[in-house]
Amino acid sequence: MMNEITLLRPDDWHLHLRDGEMLAAVCGHSSHFGRAIIMPNLVPPVVTGQQAADYRDRINAALPKNVTLRPLMTLYLTETTDPADVLRAHRDGVISAVKLYPAGATTNSASGVRDFDKVRPVFEAMAEAGIPLCVHGEVTDPEIDIFDREAVFIDRVLDPVRRKNPGLRVVMEHITTSDGVDYVGAGDDIAATITTHHLVINRNHILVGGIKPHYYCLPVAKRESHRLALRRAATSGDPRFFLGTDSAPHPDTAKESPCGCAGCFTAPNTMSILAHVFEEDGALDRLEGFASRNGPAFYRLPVNGDRIRLVKRDTPAEYPAKITTGAETVTVFDPGFPLYWHVEDPA
C-alpha cells in the first residue's frame, strides 16, 4: 500500500478568488498550487486587458508573502469584446484564456453571450493565436431542465461553435456528466476541467435529508452514474482531463438563504480530497497527470519545477470548517469522510 507520494506541484485551471476582503481571505488557501486560471466573473466583470492586468496586480498584492501562486488571468467574453484587445493582452502575457459564460448561466454572468455570431471575430482571432476558450457549458433556456443543461449545451451550442471555428481550442469547464466526458474524450483541440467536489458528491448530497446549500454549485451535481463517469475520466490518464477546482467562495449568509447562491469553497482541502479519491480508485499514480501535467500540456506551458508531498497518516488532516472574511464566514467544502492524506509543502 502506498502511504506517500510526491507530485510535481499541481495547478488549478479554474479558480474564483473574488476581490477585496474576500480575495484577501481566500487567496492564501490555494498555496499548494503553482498557477491558477483566475475566473473573471467579478462585479463588474473583467472584460479588458487593462482590467485583467489591474486584477492580477490586486491578487499579487493580496497573496501572503510565502505563497508563490501565479495567477493566470482570463477575460470575460461579451458581445462587444474587441478581438484586438484580446490579442494584445495575450501577446503581452496578461491573459492566458478567454471565458465564455452564456448569459445568465451562473453567478455574475449577466453580461455573458446571447448571440454567438456576434463573437465570431473574437473566436477567429483566438483560433489563429491558439488562445484557449474556457466555456461554462450550460444552456440557460428556462425550458431546459437544469439537470440536462450541460448535455443540451453540447448539442446546441458547443458542437456548432467548434464546427464553425476550426482550430479554436476549447476547455469545457467543470464537466458534470458522462455526456461531457464522452464529448471531450472524442475530440481534438478540446479538454475539460473536473472539479474536486464533482468527484465526491452527486445530487443526493444536495437534496436528501434536507437541503444542503454548501453542496449547491453550478453546474449542479448530477446523478451517481455521472459522478462515476467523472471519476473514470479523471483517473483515466487521458490528458484531455485535468483539475480545475472551481473553488468558489461565497459568504455563508449568501449560501444559507432562501435563494442560496452557487459555489463550493474547496481550495483548502482539495489536494487531500483528491489523494483520497485517486487512492480509492486505485489510481494514485495518475494523480500527477490530472493535477500537475495535463493542464500545462493543454495550455502549452511547462510543468512546475518543484514538488509537493502527500503523506497518509493515521490521524486525519485538519482543515477549518469555516474561514472568516471581515464580518462574514465562508464554509469549507466537507467531503463527508476523514482526510488521512496530509499535504507537505514543499515536498
Residue 157 interacting partner from Zn ion, ligand NCD, none (CB closer than 5 to 8 Å by kind): none
In the beta sheet, which residues pair with residue 97? 74
- Does position 81 bind ligand NCD by CB under 6 A? no
Residue 217 interacting partner from Zn ion, ligand NCD, none (CB closer than 5 to 8 Å by kind): ligand NCD
Nearer to Zn ion, 150 or 246 (CB): 246
Is-catalytic flag, 246? yes
- Does position 107 bind ligand NCD by CB under 6 A? yes
Nearer to Zn ion, 51 or 107 (CB): 107
Is residue 197 a contact partner of residue 217, using CB atoms and an 8 Å limit? yes
Nearer to ligand NCD, 255 or 293 (CB): 255
Residue 51 interacting partner from ligand NCD, Zn ion, none (CB closer than 5 to 8 Å by kind): none
Closest CA to 169 of 139, 135, 120: 135
What gap in Å lies between CA 18 and CA 59, rounded to an integer? Answer: 9
DSSP SS3 for 30 = helix
- Does position 226 bind ligand NCD by CB under 6 A? no
Question: What are the angstrom distances between the C-alpha of 163 and each of 85, 101, 120, 189?
Answer: 25, 19, 12, 11
- Does position 41 bind ligand NCD by CB under 6 A? yes
Site for ligand NCD in 231-290 (CB under 6 A): 246, 248, 262-263
CA triplet 182, 206, 277: central angle to 5 degrees? 55
According to CB under 5 A, which one of 138, 238, 246, 279 is a site residue for Zn ion?
A: 246
- Does position 85 bind Zn ion by CB under 5 A? no
Is residue 293 a contact partner of residue 8, using CB atoms and an 8 Å limit? yes
Residue 106 interacting partner from ligand NCD, Zn ion, none (CB closer than 5 to 8 Å by kind): ligand NCD
By the 10 Å C-beta count (0-12 exposed, 13-18 middle, 19+ buried), 270 is classed as: buried
- Does position 32 bind ligand NCD by CB under 6 A? no
Backbone angles phi, psi at 202, to 5 degrees: -120, -175
Which residues are tagged catalytic? 246
Q: Which residues form the interface with ligand NCD (CB under 6 A)? A: 16, 41, 106-107, 136, 217-218, 246, 248, 262-263
